[in-house]
């Protein structure tokens, strides 16, 4: 699945620019200058007798492999295309040498990562969680213990159960439809109604924000919240996240645009981005059928209404 670096590339291209290069190993790389040669993966040649200096001036220069975190983001104060020299607006602590760099357009890498985080919070995935009970008479089950990220009862769609002799790979726990009520209490979700044997494994199928279901490379999805490193992964496609980030970016840009034609253009841009994000959502996500809900009570006692 895509890494943070892949998401950043997808977002940056939609927001104006994403060029990649490698700093040379020569002495021309200093704390106040980066020397680039060759060309970006998009074809832009860093040394050129044709490009104007304004081509990259005021763009963002990102060093993903910078030793000092504070060296990662800089604005490009000057660009000398004939020599391939990029001058940052503020000198680095450690000069670049033989390391990758990126040139981004409207937003810095740190801002782009924040937009990716917002987009991941809007993208949903379907997951399963499990729990067991210590008391077979319990009718109230706190999901906050196993799913502290779950705050909306509407995200619970199905509840099922497996006996200790049954395998999840062979038996569908949701084939036995269990009914009940889910509700949010004090920021956590609880299930009310059904009881379970202490030997049962209870399965809950629900939806979850992709932001809460990330992982480090080689880890398990759900191990961490958000993408912290270049190789961290999320379980959703880059296009879906990229358009979600564009919508989030528009939220920030709207505050800079006040009146007139610019406002109208911004509204059209927002509508187009929102429509594309909605299209990607329909393509990538389908909510499971909701079977966990109260059973209509027709019986002579309320106890019968919770029967499996």
For the chain, which domains are there? 17-105 (2.40.30), 124-209+288-306 (no CATH)
How many CA atoms lie within 13 Å of 211's alpha carbon, on the beta-carbon side?
Answer: 17
Mean pLDDT by 10 residues, the chain (308 residues): 97 94 93 94 91 94 96 97 96 95 95 98 97 96 96 96 96 93 95 96 97 97 97 97 94 63 59 92 95 71 42
Residues 129 and 158: their CA atoms lie apart, in Å, by 11
Per DSSP, the chain holds a count of helices (H) and strands (E) of 4, 12
| pTM attached to this predicted model | 0.89
Cα–Cα dist 88/79, whole Å? 9
The answer for residues whose C-beta is within 8 angstroms of residue 128's C-beta and 6 or more apart is 203, 204, 205, 206
pLDDT for the residue 263: 54
pLDDT of residue 296: 62
Q: What's the pLDDT at 294?
A: 85
Hey, what are 41's tokens? 């993966």
Q: Which residues have CB under 8 Å from 160's CB, separation 6+?
A: 172, 173, 174, 175, 176, 177, 178, 202, 203, 204, 205
Q: CB-based burial of residue 305 (10 Å sphere; 0-12 exposed, 13-18 middle, 19+ buried)? A: middle
End-to-end CA distance of the chain: 39
What is d(CA 91, CA 57) in angstroms, rounded to the nearest whole number?
A: 16
Give pLDDT, residue 306: 38
Q: How many angstroms separate the most distant Cα atoms in the chain?
A: 89
Q: What is the pLDDT of residue 41?
A: 87
pLDDT at residue 197, rounded to an integer: 97
Q: Which residues contact 177 (CB under 8 A, 6 or more apart)?
A: 158, 160, 291, 308
């Amino acid at each position: 699945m895509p890494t943070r670096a892949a998401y950043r590339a997808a977002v940056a291209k939609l927001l104006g620019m994403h060029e990649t290069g490698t700093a040379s190993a020569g002495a021309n790389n200093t704390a106040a200058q980066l020397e680039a040669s060759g060309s970006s993966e998009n074809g832009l040649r860093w040394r050129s007798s044709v490009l104007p200096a304004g081509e990259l001036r005021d763009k963002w220069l990102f060093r993903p492999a910078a030793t000092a975190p504070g060296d990662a983001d800089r604005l490009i104060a000057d660009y000398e295309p004939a020599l391939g020299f990029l001058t940052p607006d503020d000198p680095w602590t450690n000069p670049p040498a033989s390391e990758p760099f990126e040139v981004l357009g409207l937003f810095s890498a740190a801002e782009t990562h924040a937009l990716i985080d917002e987009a991941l919070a809007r993208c949903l995935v379907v997951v399963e969680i499990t729990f067991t009970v210590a008391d077979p008479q319990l009718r109230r089950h706190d999901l906050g213990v196993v799913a502290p990220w779950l705050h909306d009862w509407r995200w619970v769609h199905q509840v099922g159960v497996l006996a200790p002799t049954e395998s999840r790979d062979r038996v569908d726990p949701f084939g036995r439809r269990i009914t009940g009520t889910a509700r949010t209490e004090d920021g956590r979700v609880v299930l009310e109604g059904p009881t379970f044997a202490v030997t049962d494994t209870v399965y809950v199928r629900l939806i979850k924000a992709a932001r809460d279901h990330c992982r480090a490379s080689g880890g398990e999805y759900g191990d961490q919240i958000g993408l912290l490193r270049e190789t961290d992964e999320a379980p959703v496609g880059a296009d879906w996240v990229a358009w979600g980030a564009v919508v989030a970016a528009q939220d920030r840009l709207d505050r800079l645009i006040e009146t007139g034609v610019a406002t109208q253009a911004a509204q059209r841009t927002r509508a187009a981005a929102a429509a594309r994000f909605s299209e990607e959502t329909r393509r990538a996500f389908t909510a499971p059928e909701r079977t966990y809900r109260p059973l209509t009570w027709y019986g002579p006692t309320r106890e019968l209404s919770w029967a499996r």
